[in-house]
Amino acid sequence: MREIHAITELRDALAKERAAGQSVGFVPTMGALHDGHLALIAKAREDCDLVVVSIFVNPAQFDRRTDLASYPRDPEGDSRIADDNGVDLLFCPSVEEMYPDHYYTYVFVEDLSAVLCGSVRPGHFRGVTTVVAKLLNIARPDIAYFGEKDYQQLVIVKRMVADLNMDADIVGVPTVRDADGLAISSRNTLLNATEREDATVIPRALFMARDMAGRRGVAASRIMERVRMAIGEEPRVRIEYLNVVDPQTLRDVRQVDDKALVAVAAYVGEVRLIDNIMVGPGA
Ligand code: PAF
């Protein structure tokens, strides 16, 4: 595996590979690599000749300085994991490399960025779409891979790529869960043992939602009431938002006829976790 820090070096390396007919799979990450990232890397490995992973903790997508400061970082561990998992090129730019002085350009996907996480994390998706647009322009992959755990991010990135006529195919990879159901996330490492245990109420509530919405016509309000009750049994878990939405538009639905996404954000202690599940007869 080759580790690259400069944009020009990555561009040159990839231009040579492309000229030799190699297809490029790209996995953008913020590091602290875990099994969720490994599922993205494995899919890229399966589909493409060359696998490029980026590690960049993107300041533009953090609405709170404390969140950026406490974001887990492990550059040496990440490099080892990437190497062990068949990554060809690991791109680790600095903040100055990505956002030099006099950086003024941002990409914003309207509407989809205003709901769910966008309603409580102002500027977050503007930061995500900006960095993803930059990374896609730099790496020019055939396919880029995103986890379905960040479902809203996946929908927004797909919209941006379609709207801006970008070339990459955007592929979503199913959420990886621990044995107790908790969706794997870099933020899980910030939970203490009690919080880690408390957090399992979130997937349990979502699985219950999936079970109750298996037939046509279940009211979204009923699903939300039951999920709130289930999560409410764990007093240390505080729901930030809970919505039942159309999987494409991310707008609230009144009832589940075919497929809907139940999306939740909750604080477990100081740690904010998000999760979602597709429900309905078509799910
Ligand atoms: O999902 C993430 O880790 C980040 O939002 C991404 C896509 C790497 C952009 O910084």
pLDDT value at residue 93: 98
Q: Do residue 126 and residue 219 come from a single domain?
A: no
Same domain? 167 vs 107: yes
> Do 107 and 212 belong to one domain?
no
> Quick check: CB of 28 below 6 Å from ligand 1?
yes
Task: Kindly report, residue by residue over 174-199, the tens digit of the pLDDT.
Answer: 999 999 999 999 999 999 999 999 99
Ligand 1 atom nearest the C-alpha of 128 is 9
Q: Which of 133, 152, 173 is the last residue of a domain?
A: 173
Residues 112 and 167 in one domain: yes
Answer yes or no: do 97 and 197 share one domain.
no
pTM, rounded to two decimals: 0.97
**Sequence-ordered alpha helix ranges (H) in 3-47:** 7-19, 35-47
DSSP 183: B
Which of 115, 147, 173 is the C-terminal boundary of a domain? 173
Question: Do 63 and 201 belong to one domain?
Answer: no
66 and 11 in a common domain: yes
Q: Give the Cα separation of 132 and 106 in Å (integer).
A: 11
Question: Using CA atoms, how far apart are residues 272 and 240, in angstroms rounded to an integer?
Answer: 9
Same domain, 141 and 23: yes
Tens-digit pLDDT profile for residues 80-95:
999 999 999 999 999 9
Q: What token pair was written down for 95?
A: 């903040």
Question: Does 130 lie in the same domain as 243?
Answer: no
37 belongs to the catalytic site: yes
Tell me if 130 is assigned to some domain: yes
Could you tell me the residue range of the domain that residue 22 belongs to? 2-173
Q: Counting atoms of ligand 1 from 1, which one is nearest the CA of 157?
A: 7
Number of compact structural domains in the chain: 2
Q: Give the active site residue among 5, 37, 102, 124.
A: 37
Residue 178: inside a domain, yes or no? no
Angle between helices 201-212 and 220-232 (to 10 degrees): 150
- The tens digit of pLDDT for each residue in 214-254 reads 999 999 999 999 999 999 999 999 999 999 999 999 999 99
| CATH number (domain holding residue 249) | 3.30.1300.10
